[in-house]
Structure 1
Amino acid sequence: MSSLIRKLFGKMILLVLLLGMILGATGLGTMPLSAAVSNQGLNSGTLEQGVVANLEDADQLTAFMDGMMDVQMRSLQIPGAVISIVKDGKILLSKGYGHSNIEENKPVDPQTSLFRIASTTKLFTWTAVMQLVEAGKLDLDTDVNTYLKTVQIPKTYEEPITLRHLMTHTAGFEEGGVGYQITTDPGKLPVSITETMAKHMPARVKPPGEMLSYSNYGASLAGLIVEEVSGVAYNDYIQKNIFDPLGMNYATVEEPVPASLEPYAALGYARANGEFVTKRPTYEGGFRPAGSASVSANDMAHFMIAHLQDGRYEDKQMLKPETAKLMHSPAFQFDERLPAMDLGFYELNMNGLRVISHGGADELFNTALYLVPDKKVGIFVSYSGGEGGTAAEGLAQAFFDRYYPVHATEQPNEASIELGESLEKYAGSYQFTRRNHTKIDKFFSFLTQINIEVSDNRLFIGSGADQQVYTPIGVNLFQEVGGSHQMGFRTDAEGKVTYLFLDILNPMPLEPAPLMNQSKFWLLLLGISVVLFITVLHGFVYRRREIRVMPKAQKWAVRLSAVTSVWALLTLGATLLVLNMNLIDRLSHIPLSLRLYLFMPIILVGLTAAIFIMGVLAWKNQYWTLLKRVHYTFVTVAAVILSLFFYHWNLLGWHFG
């Protein structure tokens, strides 16, 4: 994955604790992943060319993973990690690296160390849903309002939302989270799932079933359905029906972890002044079905084995074979040529193998789980800090390259593909379908877009070293040049692009951004406005004598333009600070500073109205010279543009979810 897309993806995930995809990031002065993967530390047990490694050779597998982890933890600043690999119902490798508690010099133990797995928790929720489906208590295609007793979803669209929609992230909810997604205060726990779902219900912005839009709310709603239909609290249901039967003794979805497991909880770390330091943990509260679990590597191995063996672990049947197969089958496809979304799992193409996967990330932990049903192979890996998302992606690719190498194939012959039309229709700015529309959260996706350019019958994403190039291999389908990733588009009856799908971002498609949503459009207008405001202040300083002798009305008009310009610049500066507000603060509560800041755009609107009136008077009464009146008009337009910016991005008023 290019660093450009990793950055964009990282912003989306961390912004709303998406925690459901492999998170990647660059920077922080660390070694690039490409350098890490090529490091000599990964060459343990190097194979002769053309020889495929034997996955069941435990010594060779351990040496390979030891080399990978050694390089990753040093180069990507990771204090602790754990991995388990299973095949054919057996644990091939389960091992910890680094420390679960640096201060106490406690090493990571794969059997007992609990790593927070964030959105990978959803797999427990989806499994619980499927248990109730096979018990006849739930139906995948029935209106969820039928099962909900304390919350009802508004009938925004004619089509009702079903469990199938929730499990495929096609319910059509907008994203949200500012002020309520998480909490950092364990004293506020436990939080009712019911109350959270009722209080923070997002708007329905797309008809159900139309398109993927990853949703923590949807997963939490499914957890509430499990709770209300089974008559058992969510935490207890998962414990009794998944953890206990599978012998997962070091696993919990409770927050904080129960006292009996607290000594085993791995601490998450960040880097400060060249050292690892602990940071405050975050809790999902009422959103716990979407991301609250803490689990050991051995216990996740049990869970993987059950899913890979048609729902069976040892003599326990977690799911019936037909239910497990249904859960692992495509349930929504953007394009039949691209990886699908299954019932809770998203598909990846790894060296030609169909992999069903889920990941998770919060501020301190990064987790990824990969299952290869056809090979009965599963991988679970979790990191307690550093660039864990980059590490997980690199480890998975290195594993498949070593044990399931792809045979060299020729790149598509572009000249042989007749698309019948120009590629220009694919160019433009694209925004994620997973975003907010109605609340202040919308603003925090302002810079999260992907731009596609066309040149020489190819599509380009990014620039410089980060650039990715795609060549057409079929109608609305493109292949990465020099790589294995693919990109697909959907078009309407007129051939206009409606959606973009990158296989590395499943289930996070994008759609063309209208002009009013394009960051480059607003940045251009804001830049011009800033220049105009600065010219006002420059003129006000250097024309003081001239202004003093002006008639009173003209003098007040000039002073008003100066005050408006100063306030506009201050408000823009404060807006930049809001955009870069600490993520945890933003998602755990509404900071007083944010509440106070929101007075600033409102005051600006008032000043804009006043300067508009003064502008009209300036033309009516022939103030100043013609050139100065034109300049005053431009400044007024700049203030109007800025006011429209705040209105469009939901920064006028206190639009909290």
Structure 2
Amino acid sequence: MLPLMVALSLGTLTLPADRVCADPDGKGMTPAQEAEAFADRFFEKPEVNQSLAGAVVVIVQDGEVVLQKGYGYADLEKKTPADPEKTVYRMASLSKPVTATALMQLAEQGKIDLEGDVQDYLGGLSVPNRTGEPLRVKHLLTHTTGFDYTDRAGTLTGPLSLEAYIRTYMPTVIRRPGEAYRYDNFASALQGYIVQRVSGQGFGAYVKDHIFSPLGMANSDFVLTPQLLPKLAPAYDSRNRLIPPYEVVPTEMPEGGMLSTGADMARFMVAHLNGGQLGGARILRKETAASMHTFQKAIHPDIPQMTYGFESFIHQYHNGQRVISKGGDIEGYHSWMWLLPDHRSGGFIVYNNEVSELRVPFFQAYMDHYYPLRGGGAEEKEAPASQEMLKRLEGRYQELRSPSTLYTVKAEDGRLTVRDSSGSHTLKGDASLLFHDEEGVPAAFREEGTGETYFYSSSHPSSWARKLREPEPYQDVPESDPDAGAIYLLRQLGAFGDEGQTRFRPDETLTRAEFTAMLVRLSGLQPSKEPPAFKDTAGSPYAAQIQSAYEMGVVQGEGPGIFAPEQPLTRLEAVSILARHAEGSPGEGEGAPPVAGKAEEGAGGDAAGQPESAATPPEAWAEQGVRFATAAGLWPAAAREEAAQRQWLAQPMSRRQAAAMIGSLLLQRMEAEAWAALLQV
């Protein structure tokens, strides 16, 4: 082991003139002084410093650290300054490039074949696979596994070993491996397990011995050790209220469990930019590091997504440069690291509260400051897309990771109009299926030999979206039915779980269990494998979905250990559950606990005994649901007055009414202003 410190004496470092002078105020400064002045100006902005708890930033260039500095407080109560050398943060998904680096070390030693079948490295565990094509190790690194589930809901009870976690939560391959990109937490967990199996060491021990220790990353680990605990910056919510400490599960989480400091991350960045070497310590061969910086998956050559372990997103801010990056989000902590291998430069930012997004603005400022765009915007390289081609792309698209995120694509006057959660966009493109919207955001389509058509926009980096096929008709829902549009939309999305069924039974009463299962299917999260929290759901075919909804904080039950799964769903229950579902934004977490305090804040009942029924007029627990119904325009024409609303809310919910209500909300989600208003109720 060669513990090495990255030199902080930067007087000899020189940057190319066009970058040093990108900001007139930087003239005459050393690179270190100029970088500090740049970062100071960003954090002096009122919209940044007034909401921030604490943050650490790092800038590296040509094998040296140009800047590592803290802003604000790591601990608000103790007024402990954020310190890049001492303050430890949860890195969340920024763990993934470290995990990938560990796997690539074993690959360059010939112990792992990137073209090999994942099954060969799992011992007695098996990967269910419905495609007939092998899941290869490289698919784990590029998030192209084809898994049916790549995320799980809520939290788990620990401690839980990595092997036990993999064994319990193994998903199924349902899409041809390598075909489509979908952000994949489980793929990174599998990478860590393969490292553990092949090396014969525990995952965390291997990373410490072969990455952290050689690079001198003394304050980094995949476990919150007694040594790191006093250094951990407390997590704060959006109002800078303390979030209680928590552990992640599995105990060593390859996909999101790393803890580190700004100074340690600087060492990791410099090593990668130096071809796998920091001082006298080498963690990767030069050619291996280069392969990790080379794009391996792209929906279009001009819009790459993945290398082996790094991502490439928000291309509109890359200013024509090759940028690889990785961000992380876990409750109370948000991080982002980006590297420009062609320039041996990069940056890093982490902060410990739920403030508005700082990472993208800081990255954009960095790129405009050091690598300003030269010349005009996007150039058309091929002939414009024909109207025939554009018509072929028309349809409704569904994100692979978040099934409730939809896009509607329509061809008009030689262009495409796309409606999504950020509004309506006009796309102009060429025959290669590369497009740009009116703000220069790139987008692309890809037509596969399997008959699938995929869509991706750089502003929506979670996954590609697939074009939906027309749903099979129900015998009892004709096209003339007033709710046919909503019913068939949800069938397209797989919300009912009734593939092959020919009847919908639109006027039957929906049960609490059926409604809950519909929402979980739309979340894209794996049904829970945890024991049921409600004793009366153990025999229900929807037990796993109910447990998932409980872990997400979407349902809380009828009383101590009681859910009443077969009880008819009332409209008040429905709107209250929908309000919690909308607020929670399921599918975004990376192993953090479910949102705490929902019930206490009036969002609903809880398993300890606060009822969720609507046999009586709305009580305090249902106020949020009532406000949500009003904001969403869910009241029928006859229920404008309060008394009529109470009577309407107390009635059972039919299957058609549930479909109409959820369908309305999904379409509203495609209108940014309307959805934002719903989340404010």
TM-score (norm 1): 0.69
1:101 to partner: Cα distance? 0.6
Q: 1:52 to 1:463 in 2, by over 3 A?
A: farther
Show the counterpart of 1:451.
408
**What letter is aligned with 1:69?**
F
Decide whether the 8 Å contact of 1:450 with 1:461 is kept in 2.
yes
Distance 1:456 1:328 in 2: 40
Describe the superposition over 1:89-124 as per-residue Cα deviations: whole angstroms up to 9, x where unpaired. Answer: 000000011111111110000111111110010111
**2:447 matches 1:491:** yes
Q: Partners of 1:415 and 1:237 in 2: how far apart? A: 49
Give the whole-Å Cα distance in 2 for the aligned partners of 1:457 and 1:393. 32
Letter in 2 for 1:569: R
Does residue 338 of the first structure (1) align with residue 303 of the second (2)?
yes
Is 1:478 equivalent to 2:430 in the alignment? Answer: no
Does the CA-based 8 Å contact 2:382-2:432 persist in structure 1? no
Q: CA deviation at 1:407?
A: 1.7
Give CA-to-partner distance per residue, 1:141-196, whole Å, 9 cap, x none.
111111112422124222211210100111111225455x534x7xx33x211111
Q: Which residue of 1 aligns with 2:155?
A: 182
Partners of 1:331 and 1:54 lie apart in 2 by: 41
Q: Displacement of 1:458 after TM fit? A: 2.9
- Aligned equivalent of 2:293: 328
TM-score, with length taken from structure 2: 0.67
CA contact (8 A) 2:212 2:218 kept: yes
Which has the greater radius of gyration?
1
Counterpart in the other structure of 2:575? 573
* 1:231 maps to which of 173, 194, 200: 200
Q: Which residue of 1 aligns with 2:632?
A: none
Residues 1:504 and 1:511: Cα distance change in structure 2 (over 3 Å): same
Residues 146 and 111 (structure 1), Cα distance of their counterparts in 2 relative to 1, 3 Å cut? same
For 1:523 and 1:267, how far apart are their aligned partners in 2? 47
Name stretches of at least 5 consecutive residues in structure 2 with no aligned partner.
Answer: 1-19, 473-482, 492-503, 510-565, 587-591, 600-604, 614-651, 664-681
- Which residue in the other structure is 1:258 paired with? 225
| Structure 1 residues 242 and 73: CA distance shift in structure 2, 3 A | farther
SS, match of residue 251 in structure 1? coil
Q: Secondary structure at the match of 1:94?
A: strand
Give yes or no for the alignment of 1:220 onto 2:189. yes
CA-CA distance at 1:473 after TM superposition: 3.4
Partner Cα separation in structure 1 for residue 299 and residue 85 of structure 2: 39
Q: Write the mapping of 1:39-438 to structure 2, written as runs, cut at 5 A.
A: 47-48=23-24, 57-71=31-45, 74=48, 77-175=51-149, 177-179=151-153, 182-183=155-156, 188-189=158-159, 191-254=160-223, 257-272=224-239, 275-281=240-246, 283-285=248-250, 288-348=253-313, 349=315, 350-387=318-355, 390-409=357-376, 417=384, 419-421=386-388, 423-435=390-402
| Amino acid corresponding to residue 240 of structure 1 in structure 2 | D
Q: Which amino acid aligns with 2:446?
A: R
Contact 2:238 2:355 in 1 (8 A): no
1:260 Cα offset (Å): 1.0
Q: Which amino acid aligns with 1:399?
A: Y
Cα offset, 1:74, TM superposition: 3.4
- Matched AA of 2:81: P
Q: Contact 1:118–1:290 (CA<8 Å) still a contact in 2?
A: yes
Q: Distance in 2 between the 1:206 and 1:452 partners?
A: 23
Compute the displacement of 1:508 (Å): 1.6
Match of 2:634 in 1: none
Give the superposition deviation at 1:414: 12
Following superposition, the deviation at residue 569 of structure 1 comes to: 2.3
Letter in 2 for 1:92: V
Contact 1:499–1:511 (Cα < 8 Å) also in 2: yes
Hey, what's the Cα distance between the residues in 2 that align with 1:235 and 1:497? Answer: 39
Answer whether contact 1:55 1:403 (CA < 8 A) is retained: no
Per the alignment, residue 29 of structure 1 pairs with: none
Paired with 2:129 and 2:421, the residues of 1 have a C-alpha distance of 47
Within 1, Cα distance between the matches of 2:490 and 2:295? Answer: 44
Contact 2:410/2:417 (<8 A) preserved = yes
Q: How far does residue 264 in structure 1 lie from its aligned partner after superposition?
A: 1.0
Q: 1:428 Cα deviation (Å)? A: 3.5
The separation in 2 between residues aligned to 1:123 and 1:415, in whole angstroms, is 35
Q: State the number of aligned residues.
A: 514
SS at 1:205 equivalent? coil
Aligned partner of 1:508 in structure 2 is 463
Query: Which has the bigger relative contact order, CA under 8 A and spacing at least 6?
Result: 1
Question: Are residues 127 and 465 of structure 1, via their aligned partners in 2, closer, same or farther at CA, if it must alter by over 3 Å?
Answer: closer
Render the CA deviation track for 1:519-541: whole Å, top value 9, x for unaligned: 98349999xx9x9999xxxxxxx
Could you say if the C-alpha distance between residues 645 and 149 of structure 1 is closer, same or farther in structure 2, counting changes exceeding 3 Å? Answer: farther
Matches for 1:12-51 after TM superposition, within 5 Å: 47-48=23-24
- Tell me, what secondary structure is at the counterpart of 2:257? coil
Counterpart among 641, 648, 652 of residue 656 in structure 2: 641
Matched residue, 2:5: none
Which sections of structure 1, spanning at least 5 residues, go unmatched? 1-43, 436-444, 535-563, 601-636, 649-657
Distance 1:461 1:99, change over 3 A: farther
- Percent of aligned positions that are identical: 27
**Separation in 1 of the partners of 2:594 and 2:353?**
21
Give 1:59 shift: 1.6
1:199 alignment partner, SS class: helix
- Conservation of the 8 A alpha-carbon contact between 2:471 and 2:488: no
Q: Quickly say closer, same or farther: Cα 1:352–1:586, change in 2 above 3 A.
A: same
> What is the CA distance between 1:400 and its match in structure 2?
0.7
